[in-house]
Amino acid sequence: MPNLILGTTTVLSESGGTVNLENINLSTGVEVTNLPSGHRPAEVWLSTTTVNSREFYITIPSGYARYKVAGHNLTTSYNNNSLLTYPQISDADDTDMESVTAYNRIESAGGGEDFADGYVKVCVNMGNDATDNLTFEQIWDSLSITRTKGYGGYGFSQYGHSSDQQSYLYNTGFRSQSTGIVNRLRYYWSSGDGSFTGTVVLTGYLGF
């Protein structure tokens, strides 16, 4: 079988009875179907956001039943800072969002529960020591699909706490009864002084 070439780029080749796809990039939202069980792509990269301000947004593209937001190495130069998430419907905060967090110290005994209305807590009272940073993941279900039910998800984070040289693990669940389509997530540091760094990646899941 001859190779399939577009312009000067080989996109389909055959070797030893195996047909290979080469040099092909799938656009955001492309879904591959009619594949055997176990071979359907599950997670698709959607966007990468560089955090450099107190407030930043993650736009939610349609076409996926579930999304993951992963934050890497977030820092703040302001001590005792908290990162909060506000899901937005038509660019307005969803005030029906409710969340609960179970938190534990990592180095020693201590922890508790925390509740929030209108937003989701990613971390609370994060420190600004040279070694303090934040890593988190959130799974959001049914954000962009037309539905008659609510939506929600779960997440976790670990970070350096302010002042006391402690680190914390957060486990969070959240839910809203709103049936509107969520078009973006708003992330907001509670204190705005100083500088902010980090990277946040959004991926989408197929196959549900």
| Model confidence, pTM | 0.81
Q: What residues contact 76, with CB distance under 8 A and at least 6 apart? A: 126, 128, 189, 191, 194, 195, 196
Q: What is the pLDDT of residues 121-131, one digit of tens each?
A: 999 999 998 88
Least confident of 20-29, 43-52, 145-154: 20-29
Q: What is the pLDDT of residue 144?
A: 92
**N-terminal to C-terminal alpha carbon distance within the chain:** 37
Q: What is the pLDDT of residues 106-154, one digit of tens each?
A: 888 888 999 999 999 999 999 998 889 999 999 999 999 889 999 999 9
- Round to whole Å and give the CA distance between 81 and 89: 26
Q: What is the pLDDT of residue 187?
A: 98
- Specify the amino acid at residue 191: S
Confidence of residue 163 (pLDDT cuts 50, 70, 90): low
- Round to whole Å and give the CA distance between 84 and 86: 7
* Interstrand relation of 9-15 and 167-176 (parallel, antiparallel or unpaired): unpaired
Q: What is the pLDDT of residue 41?
A: 53
Look at 166 and 47; give whichever has higher pLDDT: 47
* 170: nearest Cα among 155, 183, 180, 184: 155
Task: Copy the structure tokens of residue 59.
Answer: 């736009």
Q: What is the pLDDT of residue 101?
A: 96
- Round to whole Å and give the CA distance between 59 and 207: 21
pLDDT of residue 47 exceeding 70, the answer is yes
